[in-house]
Structures are given as C-alpha cells and as structure tokens.
Structure 1
Amino acid sequence: MPDLSTLVMFSSASVLLALAPGPDNIFVLTQSALKGKLVGLVVTMGLCTGLLVHTSAVVLGAAVIFQTSALAFHALKYIGAGYLLYLAWHAFRAGATRVDSQQTQEISLWRYYVRGIIMNVTNPKVSIFFLAFLPQFTNPDRGSLSLQLIVLGLLFIVATFVVFGAISLLAATLGQLLAKSDRLQILLNRVAGTVFVGLALKLATAER
C-alpha cells in the first residue's frame, strides 16, 4: 500500500487535475446546465465508471497498446470524436425542455449514464494518462504494484466524483435560471452543440 504522504500528494494532484478544464468536466457542466443536477450526477457516475475501465487497463497492461499502437490509438479516438459529433447533432436539434421533467428523470437517466461511460472510455488519452500518471506514485517496496495501482485509481475516481459532482450542482443552478426562458434554453443547446463539435475536433486531432 502507498504510504500516507504519497496518498495525500496523489489525492491533491487528482483534485487539481479534475478541476482543470477538459472534455469530461465540460461535458458534465453542459449536461447539468441543460438537464439538471440529477442528470449531471448520473453523467458523472458514467464518467467515473469509465475511469474504472482505464484503471483496469493500466493494471492489466492493456493501456500500453494505445501507447505503442498507432492504429489502436487512432481507431479509438475517431470513434470518440464521432460520438461527440452525434451528441452535437442532437444538441443542435433540441428544443426547449423542462429541467425537472418526469420523462428525463425516469426514462433518460440510463442513457446519460451510458453516455458518460462512452465519453470517457473512447478517449485513448485517458488510458495513456493513467499509464503515465499512476505508476509515478507506486513503490515496489510497498507491496504489490497491482494493488497500489488499484488504490490510486480508486482515489482518482473519488476525487473526480467530488469535483464533477460540485460542478453538476453549480451548473444546474445556472441551468434552472436559464430554463425560465425557452429562448435562452435553446441558445444553451446550441452552445452545448458547439462545445461538442470543438471537443470532437480536439480529440480527432490529438496525438499520442
């Protein structure tokens, strides 16, 4: 197990990294503002589930594939970019909706959870980041490296959930104010669509 000082240092770094603007927290922000805090929290849970996949990949060594194989890296990133463009298309077509609608709460939550997973898993740079970041805080003298990586991965997920959850709550408050105007809500959908297009272009042009 990592020692206490390592865990504190790693947790602090994880919080700062979660706060840094990136595709995942921007996605949480836009979805929370448009659909409410519940949807934002569900998206956050989906993103954190995706981080479990990346943690497992690092532990199993699968992340090395995306670092060493250009074909695998480009295939996954184009899948992710395509999915972001799909989300952008839906955002541009969306009209005004009520944030607290029963339909959104009962029917769409699973869809938003899966959307969060896909957003995270289809970004190969997350796997490469985990492969580069997590091992820096391991120590062979502290026991099983696999166990240390699992503990660090779980800590990163907890830090991400706390930060993204806070973003969800803050963005949802803004979204409730905007939702009083159908015109502003449609404008917010257009802004979200533009953000998705920008994220897709950034992912599609990313290099290892």
Structure 2
Amino acid sequence: MFKQLKNIDTAFQHIKRFSLVLIAANVVICCLWSFVTYKAVTEAQQRVHILYNGKVFEAFASTRKANLPVELRDHIKDFHHYFFDQSPDDKEIKKKISKALYLADNSAKKQYDNLVESGYYNNLISANISQEVEIDSIKLDINTAPYQFTCYATEKLIRASNTVVRKLVTQGVIRDLGDKTDDNPHGFLIQQWQILENSDATNAQQP
C-alpha cells in the first residue's frame, strides 16, 4: 500500500518536473521566435524597392544620425550659396537672400542689413559685378548640439575687366528644428552666424 503511494508520488514529481521543463522550453522558443520575427520585420521595413527604367532596384533606409554630417554640411553650403552667390540684379538678390534667411536666424538678417546699409548691393548693381562663392571646407563638431561649424570659402567678384578673389571665413552653430519644410528641406537652423574674414586674396585680369 505504502509502496504504491510512494510510486505514485514519484511519478507525480517526474510529471511535475517534465511539465516545468516543457513550459520553460516553450517560453524560450516563443521569445526567440518573437525576436527573429521582429528583426525580420524591421529589416523588411528598411528595404525600399525603386522602379527605374523598367528595372527594380533595392535600397536600404538609414537613420538620420548616420547621414547627419552630410545633411549639416549641405545645409551650410546651401545657405552660403544663397547668401553670397549674387548677380547685379536687385530682384534676384532679394530672392536669394530670402531663401538664405529661411535657413538661418536673425543673426544672418543682421549681416544682410549691415551690407544693405553700407551700400554693398548697390555697388554690385551699379558696377555690374557678379559674385560667386566656392566652399573649400567646413569644420563641423557633431558631438554636442547645437552643432558648431566654421566655413572656409573662396569668394569671387567678377567684373568685365578683372576678377577679385577674396578669402571668406564664417562661423556659427546649427540647430535641428525637427521639422522639414519646402523652404528648409533639411530642417536645420543656423544661429549666431558671423563673418570672421572677408579679405582680398588676388586680383586677376580677365582675358
């Protein structure tokens, strides 16, 4: 009688241990399956298929942080081209400056107002001078936001008789606005912008 009860108790303990092991195994399998499924879905969402000339190409999405230095430099380049690439036409000057001011705060507006008050743009128009800027390099610190930058560029003042080449150095900080618009496609804003140097480098005669 007691031996039979002991056998029943032993069998129950075996069944209990087996059940616990089975439950634990099911939990582990479910967790692994959930992880694999999540990873597969995430990778699938990052894939983009592009149809070009009747052919399908696969592209991969990336986080904005991975492209941050490229986007920041492009925003800085766009701003400087809008601000400094000018033709001797009052409407075109105002049009480009308007585009530049969407990319920067009031510090850029103050620089523009100073140039207006000094008669700089009137001199461009009256002397029929075209102004071009070429970005040489951009020193950028992306470790801390807002991001500090220094822009080194070459500015050309092109007349009919000669071309004046100037060294241009500016600096500022750039803040992430979080929202992109048609007028500000990168969603950044240049702040505390100032011109450190804008001095003549060479004076080349036109052929």
Same fold (TM over 0.5): no
Output the TM-score relative to the length of structure 1: 0.27
Q: Which has the higher contact order (CA 8 A, sep 6+)?
A: 1
Structure with the larger helix share: 1
Output the TM-score relative to the length of structure 2: 0.27
Structure with the larger strand share: 2
Greater gyration radius: 2
